[in-house]
Amino acid sequence: MATLAPSPRLRGREVELAALGATLDRAASGRLAIVIVEGEAGIGKTRLLAQALQETRGRGLQVAAGRAHELERTRPFGLLADALGCDRSSVDPRRAAIAALLATRAGQRGAVTVSSDPGLQFQAVDALVDLVETLALQRPLALGLDDLQWADPSSLLTLAALTRRLADMPLALLGCLRPMPRAGELEQALEAMEAAGARRLTLDRLGEQAVAELVADTVAAEPGRTLLAEISAAGGNPLFVTELLGALLAEGAVQTVEGRAEVAEPILPPTLRLTILRRLSFLPDDTLQVLRAASILGSSFSLTDLSTTTGRPVLELSTVLAAAIRARILEEKGDRLRFRHDLIHEAIYLDLPTSARVGLHREAGRRLAESGAAALQVAEHLARGAATGDAAAIAWLAKAAREAAPSSPAVAAELLERAIGVLEPADPGRDQLLAERAGALMGAGRLTDAEAAYRQLLDRDHDPSVDAPARLWLARTLSAQGRMGDALRELQLLQRFPTLEDQLRAAVQGSEGVARLELGDLDDAAAAADQARSTAATAGNHPLVSLATAVHAMVEELRAHLDGALRIVEDGMRLADRSPQRQGHRYPLHFVRGRILLELDRLGEARSTLQDGRRVGEQLGMHWSLPLYEVFLAMERFLAGEWDDALAGFAAALELAAESGERYSLVLVESVRSLIALHRGDLSYAEQAAARAERELGGTGPRYRSHWAMWARALLLEAQGATGDAFASLAGCWDLCARSGLAVDYPVLGPDLVRLAFAAGERARAERVAAAVAEVAAANQAPSLAGAALRCQGLLEGDPAILRAAVDAYAQGPRPLELALAAEDAGAAAARQGAAEDAVPLLRQAIELHERLGAARDAARVEARLRELGVRRGRRGPRKRPQIGWESLTPTERTVVDLVAEGLTNPQIGERLYISRRTVQTHLVSVFAKLSISSRVQLAAEAARRRTPEARPD
């Protein structure tokens, strides 16, 4: 009698295999290549993936492969950690470190609402991306991931990050999934992969020829017509074909005569599930019973767990299951056993009566809990076996959620949702879990979902004990969305609570301070900060003391009391340094100090402070603070005149902010992008960026640095010839600052407003502005503040000598744009007085500075002024940088290229250059576009070639 061949050849998939081969070739040549294979269960995705990965070795690629499991959808990073071999016992310290990171538990931290900082998640994402990058740079890597429809949210988040960040790496991503309703995280990962050029393959049913070949392979004989007609019931699904054949063979229905296999009698067309069960029915009774018990544990299980749940010794189980392994129902995979196909698992599992399944899950959960299994595993079984109100299931789900929260808030939210689903409607613990779930959603960056969850809780009758914390977190959710007015309303409601314990009161007062500061209500912000500081100090809450200190310092900063502001924040930093485990740094004081130093023109110190702060933020897992550091590090580059670096930094900051849903800095980033584009003459981009900033404000309401958007709009209007409107806009912007006492921006806005006011015949306004700027300059020691005051005064009086003094003042500082604009003003004033000999050098100085900044529009304007004086400049300044080719690379881009050529990874380059890995990636994207290449390998080769003298064009 014929038997089932061990593993039939892959048939009928030549086209798909060729497509996968092309993908692997692309990766081997140094570029990211992605294929997503989609198809129904049993259609051969796993087999195709295995074959493709088998063929990678001939292409010199290394392979990492993993498979998601239905019962492990809530294991954070499970899929990728398995695929990449991140095990605590790994000999590779990086892999072991990742495993240790993932094993971090937050069980002792209590409710998710107060421990939902997803810093650990982002550390793990970065660590996994770094590992893949390092591996791929050692040797091209193929990463095969099966059953993505069951992948955990954190692995999907990492997958999306991989596709975004490693576009230039020799990496092949091969993913398989079933066409079934997709979770949001899977949809986002697929979108990211498609954006990175992923190819989609849909596996159709096999054609007749392929089925005949598969049958022939399986029965090791030429199939006869009746046999093929029988097999046609499988509809070209290869698993169904082999299972049907297996059942026929087992029943002895297939006879091979003279090399031709045939069935004697036609059999009723079965379903795939019944076919599988029919084949299983020949196994011994005991084996079947154990398989049923094993199916409760999922499509893959360990004998230890099975022993725990069945109470039978491992040795006995392994003997009983040997028949299932011989029959190719189970297969061994490392130290686990798994059903050869999920459909085989499913057939056995679904054949159990519902009551038995529920009972077995409950029993498994109970026994696993007794044996000290992970909360997640216990919770999964208890939840599947739970009836409404099952206290044990609810408690374990909540415990698992709290453990998962730091590394995967999305998983925590899902587990809490399940716990809530099991609760009796009137359960007194319901509101606590609802609040925790909302906190987890916030941690997952799903801010609008979190807001909806908090509102759902607060808008109905609820447990008074959760009211205050839930409202505080609702306010923070609103703040994170930039909706400061809405946040403040919630905080004001909270202030009316008769009894708030100190920790909560301090948190409310601190948050109120932040909201009022953002809304420009400086006096009340300072008052709230003072209260918060005092309450937090009494309660021993170091982060809140820091928050209150920061608000106080920022109030002073905005009032342009810069030395005082600096003293306050530096005192706060010393206090935070001395706090237990540096808890005081859980509010980003470095960020505040960095900002103040920027105002004081101490750019180098600001830069190193912001870099330190970013490092502290990473160490303490404060992912939310990282975009702030990126934005202000980019601001430093902007002020220092390194605009390409600034733009790269802004792009990196926006990517980082998008990952966490944070929108705090969007207005500022878009406003500065608009300003840079304006100076460079790209009015279309300037318009788009200004519109984005304004849209953001429209959606969230006004807040701190809203006026930068108005400033950008005013300059854009001026550039479009609408000087009157420009004046009106900038005057409105100034008034907004004046009403709030935001004196720190007077020197920023002043010179433009004096110029526009003067042009509009509003001399009184110009005088008031110049006086206000002078007052700020007198109270603070910074070259650019002195320069701004002199420039305003000089413009007001049309006095070239004063403007010349402004140029000298700016020259003492680090800001080339302001220096260039002052030189232009001084030159123009001298020209108006007929002193061409004074005007020309000043205008030349301006033009050179503008060209260095790439400010083409400004340079053209100054050039026109020179022409009016009869001077044709010729080629005196630095050559204009071309748009494409090696000569177009900025100094930072050249350095990044050199380091890529040395074989460094993005994080390594980032460390070397004190920039973030994302900024390195942004630089590389720019380099690739300028050089028309698409891979790191190609870049390194090209860089090496250029180092050889004969290869240089000159």
Partner 1 sequence: MEIRISLDRVEPPAGRLRLVPGPQPTPSGPADEVPFSGWLGLLRALYEVVGPPDEPPPDAV
Binding site for partner 1 (CB under 8 A): 1, 3-4, 246, 249-253, 273-274, 277-283, 285, 288, 323, 326-327, 348, 350-353, 356
Nearer to partner 1, 357 or 637 (CB): 357
Nearer to partner 1, 325 or 575 (CB): 325
| Long-range contacts formed by 78-83: CB under 8 A, 24+ apart | 78/152, 78/155, 79/145, 79/151, 79/152, 79/155, 80/128, 80/145, 80/155, 80/158, 80/159, 81/128, 81/155, 83/143, 83/144, 83/145
Q: Report in angstroms how near the CB of residue 314 gets to partner 1 at its nearest.
A: 22
Query: How close are the terminal C-alpha atoms of the chain, in Å?
Result: 78
Nearer to partner 1, 251 or 605 (CB): 251
Nearer to partner 1, 2 or 17 (CB): 2
How far is 523 from 657, CA to CA, in rounded Å? Answer: 30
Nearer to partner 1, 267 or 759 (CB): 267
Contact 564, 572 (CB under 8 A): no
Q: Report in angstroms how near the CB of residue 291 gets to partner 1 at its nearest.
A: 9
How far is 14 from 35, CA to CA, in rounded Å? Answer: 15
By three-state DSSP, how is residue 66 classified?
strand
How far is 552 from 81, CA to CA, in rounded Å? Answer: 44
- Report H helices in 741-799: 746-759, 763-779, 783-797
By three-state DSSP, how is residue 69 classified?
coil
By three-state DSSP, how is residue 480 classified?
helix
How far is 249 from 48, CA to CA, in rounded Å? Answer: 25
Nearer to partner 1, 5 or 487 (CB): 5
Q: Report in angstroms how near the CB of residue 316 gets to partner 1 at its nearest.
A: 18
Nearer to partner 1, 142 or 276 (CB): 276
Q: What is the dihedral of CA 717, 723, 728, 732, to 10 degrees?
A: 50
- Side-chain-facing half-sphere of 738: CA atoms under 13 Å: 14
Q: Name the region of 902 (left: φ>0; alpha: ψ -120 to 50; beta: rest).
A: alpha
Contact 846, 824 (CB under 8 A): yes
Nearer to partner 1, 106 or 324 (CB): 324
- Side-chain-facing half-sphere of 899: CA atoms under 13 Å: 21
Tally: H helices and E strands in the chain: 46, 11
Q: Report in angstroms how near the CB of residue 331 gets to partner 1 at its nearest.
A: 14
Q: Report in angstroms how near the CB of residue 2 gets to partner 1 at its nearest.
A: 9
Q: What is the dihedral of CA 496, 501, 506, 507, to 10 degrees?
A: -80
Would strands 62-67 and 171-177 be described as parallel, antiparallel, or unpaired? unpaired
Q: Report in angstroms how near the CB of residue 249 gets to partner 1 at its nearest.
A: 6
Q: Report in angstroms how near the CB of residue 16 gets to partner 1 at its nearest.
A: 31
Q: Report in angstroms how near the CB of residue 343 gets to partner 1 at its nearest.
A: 14
Nearer to partner 1, 48 or 323 (CB): 323
Q: Report in angstroms how near the CB of residue 229 gets to partner 1 at its nearest.
A: 20
Q: Report in angstroms how near the CB of residue 337 gets to partner 1 at its nearest.
A: 17
Q: Report in angstroms how near the CB of residue 323 gets to partner 1 at its nearest.
A: 6
Q: Report in angstroms how near the CB of residue 287 gets to partner 1 at its nearest.
A: 10
Q: Name the region of 258 (left: φ>0; alpha: ψ -120 to 50; beta: rest).
A: left
Nearer to partner 1, 3 or 7 (CB): 3
How would you label 375-413 residue by residue, b for 16+ Cβ within 10 Å and e otherwise?
bbbbbbbbbbbbeeebebbbbbbbbbbbbbbbbbbbbbb
Q: Report in angstroms how near the CB of residue 241 gets to partner 1 at its nearest.
A: 17
How far is 373 from 334, CA to CA, in rounded Å? Answer: 20
Cross-strand bridge partners of residue 63: 142
* Close Cβ partners of 190 (under 8 Å, ≥ 6 residues apart): 36, 182, 198
How far is 143 from 853, CA to CA, in rounded Å? Answer: 43
Q: Report in angstroms how near the CB of residue 348 gets to partner 1 at its nearest.
A: 8
Q: Report in angstroms how near the CB of residue 49 gets to partner 1 at its nearest.
A: 27
Q: Report in angstroms how near the CB of residue 243 gets to partner 1 at its nearest.
A: 11
Nearer to partner 1, 270 or 510 (CB): 270
Nearer to partner 1, 269 or 841 (CB): 269
Q: Could you tell me how many residues make up the chain?
A: 954
Nearer to partner 1, 351 or 808 (CB): 351
Nearer to partner 1, 102 or 254 (CB): 254
* Close Cβ partners of 547 (under 8 Å, ≥ 6 residues apart): 510, 513, 514, 532, 536, 587
Cross-strand bridge partners of residue 336: 333
Place of tokens 């082999």: 242
Q: How many CB atoms lie within 10 A of CB 884?
A: 11
Nearer to partner 1, 253 or 683 (CB): 253
What is the token pair recorded at 761?
């015949």
Nearer to partner 1, 248 or 897 (CB): 248
How many angstroms from the chain centroid is the CA of residue 196?
Answer: 15
Contact 396, 369 (CB under 8 A): yes
Nearer to partner 1, 109 or 292 (CB): 292
Q: Report in angstroms how near the CB of residue 117 gets to partner 1 at its nearest.
A: 46
